[in-house]
Every structure is written in C-alpha cells, then in structure tokens.
Amino acid sequence: MHTTPLLADRVAVVTGAGGGIGAATARLFARHGAHVFIADIDAERSAQIADEITMSGGSAQLVVTDVRDTAQVAILARTVLDRFGRVDVLVNNVGHWLRHPGNFVDTDPQLWDELYRVNMHHVLLVTHAFLPTMIDQNAGSIVNVSSVEGLRGYPEDPVYAAFKAAVIHFTRSLAVQVGRDGVRVNAIGPDVTESLQVPYSQWLSDEEQRQWPQWVPVGRMGLPDDQARVILFLASDLSAFVTGHTIPTDGGTSAAGGWYRSSRPTGRAWTNRPVAP
C-alpha cells in the first residue's frame, strides 16, 4: 500500500538518536522523506543508525554532540543550517534517570545538577539554538520527550520527576508564546517502553513478563516504534492544530494506576509492577 510521506524534504534534528526511541524516530522520519540529523554522544552506535538509514535509501547525517554542552550545540546548529539553511522539526529526546538515588534526603546537589542537565537543561539549550530559525521561516515543530513520571507522583526519584514535569510545562508555555510565529511545541510522556535506559526485556523476571496483560491496559510492553509513531504525528501536518500538549504514550498505565509501597525482598521500596506489593 502506498503511503504519502509525511515529512518529505523536511529537515529534522533528533537528539539521542543512537538507540531506543531516538533511533526509531530517526528511522521513521527518514522513511517519510525527512533529511535527518542524528545528534548523539555515542559516535559508534549513532554511526550504525546513520549508515542503516542511508543504506535503506534515506537521508541521515551524524553530528556527534553532547547536548549538555553549549559549544557543541552551537556546532550542531551551524552544521544543520550551513547545509540546508532551515530546520523544520526538532525532537529533544535525550533523557535519563541516571541511577536509583534512594530517598531524597540521602541525595546531594551534584546528582540534582546531573539530572537537570540531562533531562531539562539540554531541552532549553537545543531549543534556544534552533528556535530563531523556525521563527524566521514562520514554520516548525518541536517535540519534547518527557516521561509519565512528569505527569504523576514518582516516589522513587522526586528530582527526576520534577525535571520531567518542567519539560512538560516548558512545552506548554513555549507553545503559547510562539504559536503565532508558526511554531508548534508538543511533548510525549512515555512509560513501560523498552529503551537503552529501561531494558524491560532484561530487567523483568519470568513472573513479571507473564503479567504484562495485568500491568498495562493494552496488554504488552511498549516498543520504541510505538513512541516514534506519535512523535511523527506531532512533527507532521497531521497535528497542524495541536500545540502545547503532552500525549501520555504509556499504554494506559497513567489512566489505570500508579506506584505502590513494596514489602517484597527486592531492595526497592516502591513498585509499579503487577506483583503482590
């Protein structure tokens, strides 16, 4: 069946596109005709994604970038604009919970800063680098990848949750500010999705694997492609009248429940898994 490309000849930047949701998004964008810039800190892994796209007939270029670094983000923006003179889509996908910190009272400001830089600061930095061009061309779509933990209470790491919530509110507020400039800003809030940071296929016990139908309303684990399809929708003209929103791409988990105290001998005080708490 023929499918009309949704991003034909558009220039798209996807951060953290060396794996997981970012890689799935880069592949899907390329299949829909976009010229994709892969911005990732891991050169080897990202080069594999770029090669895979080009060998399949798509357009992809790798720019090795630490999006937490102002100078490197400036180089990324110059590289994109020097080649095409425009940017149509920006996906701020980078994010990480880094490590389970325990109770907030046991954490330290260094960890807070690390969480801020990898989950919130880069969203500001990269958006700031590309937004002026979008405003000048009176067109553009920005998609931020937050988390379901920015939409609900997350007792395992309130600091991470706070920064993910900040991404959502930045999305909402910036969308209102730049709407008349032709720029749309939206976000997604993933949950229970296989990724580099959350490899459920490796983490879950056989007992937990059998519980997906009880754990997630749609009955299965999420895959990177599930997230990429929603990002494509938000990036394309299909969502031309949508801005300022965060779509919970969670298989229904936020609608169905949340976190519960656990007495199981796992070393974890909280669980969101379908086993006896």
Q: Which residues are catalytic?
A: 160
φ, ψ of residue 199 to 5 degrees: the values are -85, 80
Q: How far apart are CA 121 and CA 106, in angstroms?
A: 23
C-alpha R_g of the chain: 19
Calculate the CA dihedral of residues 39, 32, 7, 46 and round it to 10 degrees. Answer: 0
Q: Which residues, 6 or more positions from 113, have their beta carbon under 8 angstroms from its beta carbon?
A: none
CB 159 within 8 A of CB 111: yes
- DSSP strand pairing (89-92 vs 140-145): parallel
What tokens does 42 get? 């891991």
CB 203 within 8 A of CB 169: no
